[in-house]
Structure 1
């Protein structure tokens, strides 16, 4: 359960016994030490729901860590990662108040009932079209054939990505993951997206853009002076969150239901369970495992002293499986009230697009289950993105139609 240096570290999750099921790793450590210092990653690791919830609301912890991380890189890596760093520093998720409040205001006026209704209608239509294209017999891959196309079409429509550059949204990788593992694989894609964004910027600034993002920000652009970099960074944030986390939330939810046929049957018998079921499915297997903060000042947490400048890793997925908050946490129970799960964050950084994400999972699941009766799992070994922070299922083969070998 430990590395060769004999101390607990999140890097142990790359070991074969933990890689497929990080929740066993979290449970084993939480029972002994719900807060521990990870010497390998140089961060405090927090594993219980109550402490994570409190720290997500604690303004003594800072989200502004991109520039500090970038400045610590060796010169060659610093130069290589500079284009991605310059974009991330302007995203609201990597800023603290008061700048965070200002950036959050930019699209906030768009999250009104009219736009939410519009998005739900778009999800209904898009998911219905995709389900109609799925085979009625044989096999398909939920990730490649449904979850990815659904989120890609949704995000393209919301952000005004035209058909001629739609390929730039394919095979998307989480930008924060790429930055913190010092991968420059996405920089070329981001550069191309920036060029396309800049071409359409005059229309957005004039308030005549017709895509949802343009309409969401039009009111705030009249009230405040945002730089082109700020506009692009938070446009890209909408793409990044919508393509990466939402795709895999949906895929993980389908896998969880297929692994729990009793719960799947209950949901099929009572579709009214779906809104609450989405929260339980997100609690059970989220696509984002943790978030990181930096201590602004010294603070005491669970009788330990966290010094100013030290990193604090809040393992959201561990909090979601904390037995002190959720009895029998490893059991999927679609009737459980799990609205306080940590998958969408907490406090001032609670996901601004939560209504959109929840709607996409709810409607995407409902359309799939309604339109593909008899959906069942195909025996396979799950393959996950090699990451200790993201729970991204790379493929999910399923079967439909009559089972072979029947009489």
Structure 2
């Protein structure tokens, strides 16, 4: 049987599919739930189906161990520190452990905390643009969004000046794990050393960094190991830096390709908070999340059998015309707060409000500080991944406000 054109997310590596959303549309027209023979998993492409499965206790996000155990022994040995960190993150666990780990950080990421941190985000954004705009050429990723999110997360996680270089060019730990890359291991080990240095002060309440203050009320319960605390410290860095960096980059790209929307946002900056959600719906930096079936599940006219893998394709659900009229049109006035880019159900991103604030502030500051903003190159260079929509760079020509 010729399966050259069989439906598979791996076809996104083909040159003909420069835009994944066109590919999702073609797949979804066939079925909202279908089998991917090459990836050996079910693709769930419809908004409603993704929401239903995100709430279904018969699907589990605890998928790190199963992938790791299939690797050759030499690869497992090299990846062991990364596997350990991922396995201890709340994101890759289910209740009751997930509930306990989520409780560690949840009290810190409150609306009040996000309001209090806004001046920091605004200050960093302006400092970066002070340095970059006078040249008339700005790499949105390298000059702006990556150092912005790095500085914010360094302050939040308590990564001091002597260690902030460890956060540079952070690509995402899950990407490193599933591509079996060991390049990040020395960085994790160095971050663990910096983290362990403050362990006693964190436990006795004398450490003053924001992460320690966020979790202070939980540590007196003595039911968290240092490995668990470190893993979710890494999760804070991972989710708070790489994904937000590229949410900002993808938003700027979308505005450059839709100048009428950029003009609308320049004229009415109050639209920015809602626009941040539309940017995430339109082009999320994370395209799918994986699960494993704990039992048989019938959905979308298909039977997912126990033990089979499932990819909830968030990027496809965000463009489902059954949920969003004219879904391939960027509309910053659209009510898109129910988008799937932060996940759904018990795994909904704890840092969602912080990410929205960073996107809102980054975009409004950039537009306020410029009178013109346009792409410097016709094509874009993306990370080679079917899951992560990460721009390698985004050079734009700018005319700054003086």
Which of the five TM-score ranges fits, normalised by the shorter chain?
Answer: over 0.9
CA separation in 2, counterparts of 1:385 and 1:203? 39
For the pair 1:158 / 2:156, whether they are aligned, the reply is: yes
Tell me which residue corresponds to 1:7.
Answer: 6
CA distance in 1, matches of 2:159, 2:2: 45
* 1:340-379 matched pairs, under 5 angstroms: 340-379=338-377
Q: Is the 8 A contact 2:146 2:241 kept in 1?
A: yes
Aligned to 1:287: 285
Matched, 1:95 2:93: yes
| Cα displacement (A) at 1:373 | 2.3
2:103 is aligned to 105
CA distance in 1 between counterparts of 2:222 and 2:303 reads 41
Q: Tell me by how many angstroms 1:126 deviates.
A: 1.2
The answer for the alignment partner of 2:176 in structure 1 is 178
Q: 2:29 is matched with which residue?
A: 31
1:54 counterpart residue number: 52
State the distance in 1 between where 2:150 and 2:377 align: 27
Give the total of aligned pairs: 400
Superposition deviation, residue 209 in structure 1: 1.7
Cα distance between partner residues in 2 of 1:141 and 1:197: 32
Is this contact kept in 1: 2:111–2:353, CA < 8 A? no
CA distance in 2, matches of 1:390, 1:266: 29
Distance (whole Å) between structure 2 residues aligned to residue 112 and residue 3 of structure 1: 53
Shift of residue 50 of structure 1? Answer: 0.6
Q: How does 1:241-280 map to 2 (within 5 A)?
A: 241-280=239-278
* Distance apart, 1:6 and its partner CA: 4.2
| CA deviation vs aligned residue, 1:175-201 (integer Å, no higher than 9, x gap) | 011101111111111011111111111
For residues 3 and 133 of structure 1, the distance between their equivalents in structure 2, rounded to whole angstroms, comes to: 55
Structure 1 residue 133 displacement after superposition: 1.6
Query: Structure 2 length normalisation: TM-score?
Result: 0.97
Question: Does the Cα contact within 8 Å between 1:131 and 1:372 map onto a contact in 2?
Answer: no
Cα distance in 2 between the residues matched to 1:245 and 1:3? 37
Do the aligned residues in 1 keep the contact of 2:105 with 2:214 (CA within 8 Å)? yes
Q: Secondary structure at the match of 1:64?
A: coil
Q: TM-score, normalised by structure 1?
A: 0.96
Give distance in 2, aligned partners of 1:275 and 1:193: 33
Structure 2: runs of 5 or more not aligned: none
Q: Indicate conservation of the 8 Å contact 1:3/1:12, yes or no.
A: no
Deviations 1:95-145 (A, max 9, x none): 001100000000111122432222112111111211222223421201000
